[in-house]
Chain A
Amino acid sequence: MSYKVTEEGNIATIHLDGEIDMDVTEKAKEVIFPHIDAGKEVHLNLSNVQYMDSSGISVLIESHQKGLEKGTKVIIKDVSKSVLKVIMMAKLEQILNLE
């Protein structure tokens, strides 16, 4: 998994790239969580993530919940068809902020 972060005002946009599985979840959390902890609105762009398993879904849930705790938002953007299918299988499309 690789990533790119751009910050503009209070918005941190994080582009993840590659496959998100158990092997990379810690790295994904290390990239995402500090921005949420800093109170930033996080835009998580998943257009280049073609595979995500239950561990990756857990990172999305944890990020979402952390955002609520910190009084900010995590918005998941440009989800690929294959990842959206997994999000829907987990019945999270109404829970997570998807755009």
Chain B
Amino acid sequence: MSETAHQDHIEKKAFLVNSSSLKDVRSFCREVFEKLQIQEDLKDELVLAIAEAAQNIVKHAFKNSASPTELMVVQISCENNKLQIAFYDRGTPVDPKKVKHREIDNVKPGGLGTFFIQEIMDAVEFKDGKKPWINHLVLTKQL
């Protein structure tokens, strides 16, 4: 937990659902975390967790075949030093019970994104998506 008091802040941005948006998602996060004055090491970890969650939307919720105009929204908010990152998308409904990472000792390509998210964040929660959204993922971290 950081000793710095971070200013309350909320910001959101929409991105096209495709792999080339991932760098834009990272840039957005870095900009917001600069404003929140989050220290460098933690910022890198948070950017990784958020980019992995966005990647899961592209890869799994849309199976790499979203329509060219399909959007996902990333919202970053900080209140009372609690960081909350929300994702909204209209892909295939996610069954939280099926979201799991591979056994970490079973070394093979793939299955690490969810592991990274869980390692970095305090909580990962799938909520009911309110129209027009289908999936609503919320990641939280106490700063």
Task: Spell out A's residues near B (CB within 8 Å).
Answer: 19, 21-23, 51, 53-55, 57-59, 61-62, 65, 82, 85-86, 89-92, 95
Contacts and interface: CB of A to CB of B under 8 A. Distances in A.
Given A55-B113, A61-B107, 5 more contacts: A19-B26, A21-B23, A51-B44, A62-B109, A89-B116
Contacts, number: 63
B130 to A, nearest CB: 28
Contacts of B121: none
Residue among A23, A57, A85 with most chain B CB within 10 A: A23
Interface residues of B, number: 26
A67 to B, nearest CB: 14
Say what secondary structure dominates the interface of chain A: helix
Interface string B110-129: 10110110010000000000
Interface string B75-117: 0000000000000000000000000000011011110110110
A2 to B, nearest CB: 14
A58 B22 contact: no
B20 interface: yes
Contacts of A85: 41, 44-45
A32 B104 CA distance: 25
B22 A23 contact: yes
B55 A54 contact: yes
Nearest to A19: B23
Contacts of B26: 19, 51
Residue among A51, A55, A91 with most chain B CB within 10 A: A55
A70 B22 CA distance: 33
A23 B23 CA distance: 9
Contacts of A65: 108-109
A91 B112 CA distance: 11
Contact of A22 (B55, B107, B109, B116): B55
A22 B48 contact: no
A86 B110 CA distance: 14
Given A21-B23, A54-B112, A57-B112, A92 B107 contact: yes
A96 B19 CA distance: 26
Given A54-B112, A61-B108, A21 B19 contact: yes
Contacts of B47: 51
